[in-house]
Structure formats: structure tokens, C-alpha cells
Amino acid sequence: MEKKVIVVTGGSSGIGLQTIGQLSANDNNQIISFSRSEEKIQKAKKVLGNKENVNYFMGDVTNEDDCRKFAEYVEKNYGKIHGLLNNAGVLTKGGMEMIDYETWKYNLNINLNGVYLFTRSLLPLLKKAQGASIVNVSSVAAMKPGSSIAYSVSKAGLDMLTEFLAGDLAPYKIRVNSVNPALVRTPIHMDNKIFENKEEYEELLRNAVERYPLKRIGEPEDIANLIEFLLSDKSSWITGSIMKIDGGAMINNDLIPPKDIE
């Protein structure tokens, strides 16, 4: 049986790492993780254990040379790509007056331009699979302004890229969908210095629970389960979908009648 080759950007941490853990449980999947820091890759290897069906490639999704070299590496070793998870992302908090232009460009560059460049570099290999699936990791911040202007705008752009590519690539039987999580417990918030310290972060997580009708925030596994489905043939009639996954957070609670009204 032909192995299913799946590329995951940002596979060294959080949602990407969890997804690789789940996908690699199936020996028929061959996963290649693409991210920047060697240190995070080493940590990921410890978490996952030395699995034969997971390989790591060090690179930056915004760097044309890295993307070209990665495409050459995959072509030489695997020949084609059946699944692509564009998951790498960064988050810098603040509105227009809080962030400078460099910060704006940093977010837009990784979260939006990086997805465009990386996907474009791998397109010939995705076409070869004759039925590939691309999943972009966006956010509910694309749908309502959140705490970061650059992040929200980058993810809103990403959602349009998802819809556009779904039509653009359908003739090659390539499906393109997006998962849009609300708050998920991962290193992204501390690594990107969104909070002063761990206590402030833990307090936000405790308070956040109240805003979620299901009374909990997301765990990486919640998101990985949806991604697994979208990468699999079980979702073969789904393309161009923007799927929020948020424990009900985006429901307008004001419209739900109070419990004591019959």
C-alpha cells in the first residue's frame, strides 16, 4: 500500500506537535515536520519518541530558499504530497498604536505570506497525489477583532486564501479547508510574550472558561481531531470550508434566552 505523505508546518509545538503525534500512530502515514528552531525540534523528538515515520526539516515558511530546498527534498525522497497542514503561526498582541510596522509585517509575513509561499512551492507535488488535502490553521480572530490587529488581519486574509485556493485547485482534485480555533492551551501565548508571566497567563485561562458555553478552553487534541478528519478521505466532499472550533464561544450569548424563561 502506498504511504500517505503529510507535511506539517510548525510541527515542533502545540497544535502541530499534537497532530503529528496522532497522525504518526498510523504506520501508513509518513509525516514531515517543517519549522525553524533546532531546540524546539529536539524537544518535539523527545515528546514523540524516535518514530520512523516522522522526519524533521529545519526552515522558515517565509524564506524562498528554504521552501525551494524543502520541495526538492520531498520530491527526491517521497515524490508527492497527499496532505499539507499549514499550521505555523505567530501572535503579537496590540492595536494600531501598540505595535510598530515591523511587528505588523512579521505577523502578516508568517501567518499569511508564508502559507502562500510554502503552498506554492509544494504545488507540483500536491498535484501529483491526485486528491491531496490542504488544511490551513486560522483562528476565530479572523471573524471578530481579537486582541491583535496584525494577527486578526493575517488570519482574515488566510481565510480568503483558503476559499480562493479551494476553487483554484479543485481542477487538480486538491481540497483546501480551514480550521479556526478559539483559545487553545499551547506555548504560543508565552513564547510570543503575550503575558508578563505564567501566573498572568494561568489567570486568563481560568477566567476565559466562563466565555465558553461548553465551560472549557480548547486542548490541542480537539483541533488535531478535526485536522485529521479534513486530511482524510472521510472529508472527500468538503472543500472551501472555514470551520470554527471554539466550544461555542462565537455564539452570541445575548440571543440565548435565560434558563428560567419557558
For 233, counting Cβ atoms within 10 Å of its Cβ (0-12 exposed, 13-18 middle, 19+ buried), the class is exposed
CB of 188 to ligand NAP, least distance (A): 3
Catalytic: which of 73, 106, 116, 151? 151
Residue count, binding to ligand NAP (CB under 6 A): 30
* Cβ 233 to ligand NAP shortest distance, Å: 24
Structural contact between residues 257 and 213, judged by C-beta atoms closer than 8 angstroms: no
In 3D space, the residue among 160, 127, 37, 47 whose CA is nearest the CA of residue 90 turns out to be 37
Residue 14 found at the interface with ligand NAP (CB under 6 A) = yes
Mark 162-191 with x for binding to ligand NAP (rule: CB under 6 A) and - for no binding.
-------------------x-xx-xxx--x
What percentage of the chain's residues is helix, strand, coil (to nearest 5)? 50, 15, 35
User: Does residue 151 have an active-site annotation?
Assistant: yes
DSSP 8-state assignment for residue 148 = B
* Residues of span 126-165 touching ligand NAP by CB under 6 A: 137, 139
Among 6, 54, 84, 90, the residue binding ligand NAP under the rule CB under 6 A is: 90
Interacting residues with ligand NAP (CB under 6 A): 9-10, 12-16, 35-37, 40, 60-62, 87-91, 110, 114, 137, 139, 181, 183-184, 186-188, 191
Active-site residue numbers?
A: 151
